[in-house]
Amino acid sequence: MLKTTCEDMGAGWRAIDVDTDERLRAKYTDHVPVTFVDRELLGYWFLDEAALRAALDKRAPQAPSDDWMP
């Protein structure tokens, strides 16, 4: 759903495996998946498509940053 929604709305996206980073694993433990839009936390545990669309709709267009980590 994430990929399709982002493609529909012209937004880039990036997946990060929290288990590959000790700091992220400690921070998010069993809260995955964790979703961010423009570096702002959108939610934990599940992805609400309506909330994702609303967040993407009000965002400032920008390319996803390959170096940002939550």
Distance in angstroms between the alpha carbons of the first and the last residue of the chain: 21
- Structurally, the chain folds into a number of domains equal to 1
Region 38-54: mean pLDDT is 93
Reported as a single tens digit per residue, the pLDDT across 14-30 is 898 988 999 999 998 88
| 8 belongs to a structural domain | yes
| 67 belongs to a structural domain | no
Instruction: Identify the helix (H) or strand (E) that includes residue 42.
Output: strand 40-44
CB atoms within 10 A of CB 18: 19
| 28 belongs to a structural domain | yes
CB atoms within 10 A of CB 55: 19
| 26 belongs to a structural domain | yes
Inter-residue contact 3 to 13 (CB < 8 Å): yes
For the chain, percent of residues with pLDDT exceeding 70? 84
Inter-residue contact 10 to 62 (CB < 8 Å): no
Instruction: Identify the helix (H) or strand (E) that includes residue 58.
Output: none
Provide the whole-model pTM.
0.76
Does the pLDDT at position 60 exceed 70?
Answer: no
Domain that holds residue 14: 2-57
